[in-house]
């Protein structure tokens, strides 16, 4: 079943079910209410007749009073639309307001009458023989000294109630049909509006999957579907950006690998042409081959790291560490790898340690890359400083050097793949141009940021900021 029909069916159910049960409850409530009101009226009428009957029971021979009572009983029926009968203690009808009199009829076997003859109030409903009308009967005992001496019986058909109920049912049905038609129209309009945009998104996504360069997912609206279309567009832009980045990285990688391979090939050719027989030349070219091999190995390793960072999920790798103790432990491990003939390393840490949740191995990579760059560009008589500053909700770590610095126009590019400045020293050849790109990817995956501050001949300062929770 399509979304359109599901929406329409849901709307119909939402409208039909409440209306149906509301109508059912309203009709049954009206029926109970009117029947109760009718019964109370009939009890009042029977009580009124019973009060008129009491003095007559003490004067059974007063024919004129009894005749006057019988006349009033007939008048009451016309006024009250209720049949009234008086039944003696034997259960026989003695007076009847109806023209088709039942005087002399024994009603002692009827339920309501037998209840009243026993001193209790009785009531019962009965259908007529043709089943067209429902009659309601009540029997009220007339008590003297706690014993029933007569019964006043009132009866009335419920035709007016049934007519009103039928009218209510018809009105409710008409209202329900109109509501269903309106809800069906509204549901059709809403479903068509929604599904039309969803179908457009589906067609655009399918075309994009088949190779279209642009995802035409421009669906208007400020609702969830409009937001979905905008998310699709952002996703396509991100995919395109990453695809272009991957192509650019591949082309740059091929170019960067070509340089060391050409140098190695050239050194091998020179050695093959006779330089291998000269010890000084052999050492020089073998050293060049070693340098270029190291450069390629480092480049391949960092390319693999970049690929892993694009696909890995850091959530499971994160652990809470005491940050200052963690940094000291990292420095203890990696400082010997930077060699002896290098700048001095100092630290500027807060007095009190604090916890930070990070992926330890990845943050160690960032520190290694930043310190390696700092030592590479700082002369041996210079200084490299590792600083930590704790602020509200974040911790900022900085690597500051006293080297030549990064020119202002090159600072925006330092985190690009394979980008290096023109500064050179004897260790420059080992750089791959990927270390800062790796650092950027790691810090971004941690939800932080990394940047550079530098002034010409004043050294460079690389900072990265991490959230503390």
Q: What is the pLDDT along the chain (469 residues), one digit of tens a residue?
A: 666 677 777 777 877 788 888 888 888 888 888 888 888 999 999 999 999 998 888 888 888 888 999 999 999 988 888 999 999 989 999 999 988 888 999 999 999 999 999 999 999 888 777 767 788 899 999 998 888 999 999 998 877 777 787 888 888 888 888 888 888 888 777 777 777 777 777 777 777 777 666 666 666 666 677 777 777 777 777 777 777 766 666 766 676 677 778 888 887 887 777 776 777 877 887 888 887 887 788 777 767 776 666 656 555 578 999 999 999 999 999 988 887 888 999 999 999 999 999 999 889 989 999 998 899 889 999 999 999 999 988 999 999 999 998 888 888 888 887 777 644 333 344 456 778 888 998 899 899 999 999 987 789 999 999 998 7
14 φ, ψ (degrees, to nearest 5) = -65, -35
- Residue 223, in any domain of the structure: yes
Both tokens assigned to 381: 């008589």
The CATH number assigned to the domain holding 288 equals 1.10.287.130
For residues 144 and 221, membership in a common domain is answered with: no
Sorted by sequence, the CB contacts under 8 Å of residue 301 that are 6+ apart come out as none
410, 422 in Cβ contact below 8 A? no
**3-class state of residue 83 by DSSP:** strand
For residue 391, give its domain range: 314-467
Residue 236: its H or E element = helix 224-272
Residue 326: how many CB atoms within 10 A of its CB? Answer: 19
pLDDT of residue 428: 44
| CA gap 191, 5 in Å, rounded | 8
Domain CATH for 454: 3.30.565.10
Are 27 and 141 contained in the same domain?
Answer: yes
Q: Please report the pLDDT score of residue 91 as a whole number.
A: 92
Q: Which pTM value belongs to this model?
A: 0.48
- Map tokens 């026993």 to a residue: 118
**Domain contains 106:** yes
Q: Which of 118, 148, 163 is the last residue of a domain?
A: 163
Instruction: Please tell me the total count of domains within the chain.
Output: 3
CA atoms of 412 and 171, how far apart (whole Å): 76
Whether the CB-CB separation of 82 and 76 falls below 8 Å is answered with yes
183 lies in some domain? no
Q: Kindly state whether residues 301 and 255 are assigned to the same domain.
A: yes
Q: How far apart are alpha carbons 298 and 295 in whole angstroms?
A: 5
């Amino acid at each position: 079943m399509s979304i359109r029909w599901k929406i329409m069916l849901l709307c119909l159910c939402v409208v039909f079910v409440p209306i149906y049960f509301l109508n059912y409850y309203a009709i049954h409530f009206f029926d109970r209410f009117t029947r109760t009101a009718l019964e109370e009226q009939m009890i009042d009428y029977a009580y009124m007749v019973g009060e008129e009957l009491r003095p007559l029971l003490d004067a059974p021979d007063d024919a004129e009073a009894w005749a006057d009572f019988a006349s009033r009983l007939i008048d009451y029926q016309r006024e009250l639309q209720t049949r009234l009968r008086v039944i003696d203690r034997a259960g026989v009808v003695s007076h009847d307001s109806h023209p088709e009199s039942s005087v002399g009829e024994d009603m002692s076997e009827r339920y309501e009458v037998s209840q009243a003859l026993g001193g209790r109030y009785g009531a019962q409903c009965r259908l007529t023989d043709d089943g067209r009308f429902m009659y309601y009967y009540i029997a009220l005992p007339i008590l003297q000294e706690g014993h029933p001496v007569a019964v006043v019986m009132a009866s009335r058909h419920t035709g007016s109630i049934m007519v009103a109920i039928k009218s209510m049912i018809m009105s409710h049905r008409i209202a329900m049909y109109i509501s269903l038609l309106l809800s069906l129209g509204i549901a059709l309009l809403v479903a068509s509006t929604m599904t039309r945009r969803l179908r457009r998104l589906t067609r655009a996504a399918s075309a994009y999957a088949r190779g279209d360069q642009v995802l035409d997912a421009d669906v208007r609206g400020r609702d969830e579907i409009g937001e979905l279309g905008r998310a699709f567009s952002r996703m396509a832009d991100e995919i395109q950006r990453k695809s272009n980045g991957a192509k650019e990285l591949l082309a740059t990688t091929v170019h960067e690998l070509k340089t060391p391979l050409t140098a190695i090939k050239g050194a091998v050719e020179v050695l093959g042409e006779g330089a291998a027989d000269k010890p000084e030349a052999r050492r020089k070219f073998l050293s060049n081959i070693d340098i270029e091999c190291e450069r390629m190995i480092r480049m391949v390793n960092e390319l693999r790291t970049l690929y892993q960072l694009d696909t890995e999920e850091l959530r499971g790798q994160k652990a809470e560490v005491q940050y200052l103790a963690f940094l000291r432990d990292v420095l203890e491990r990696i400082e010997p790898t930077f060699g002896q003939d290098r700048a001095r390393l100092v630290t500027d840490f807060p007095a009190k340690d604090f916890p930070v949740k990070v992926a330890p191995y990845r943050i160690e990579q960032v520190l290694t890359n930043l310190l390696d760059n700092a030592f590479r560009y700082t002369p041996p008589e210079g200084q490299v400083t590792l600083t930590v500053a704790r602020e509200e909700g974040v911790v900022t770590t900085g690597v500051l050097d006293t080297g030549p610095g990064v020119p202002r126009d090159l600072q925006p590019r330092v985190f690009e793949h394979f980008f290096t400045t023109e500064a050179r020293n004897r260790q420059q050849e080992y750089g791959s141009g990927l270390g800062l790109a790796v650092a950027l990817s790691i810090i971004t995956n941690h939800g932080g940021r990394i940047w550079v501050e530098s002034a010409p001949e004043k050294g460079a300062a690389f900072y990265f900021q991490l959230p503390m929770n």
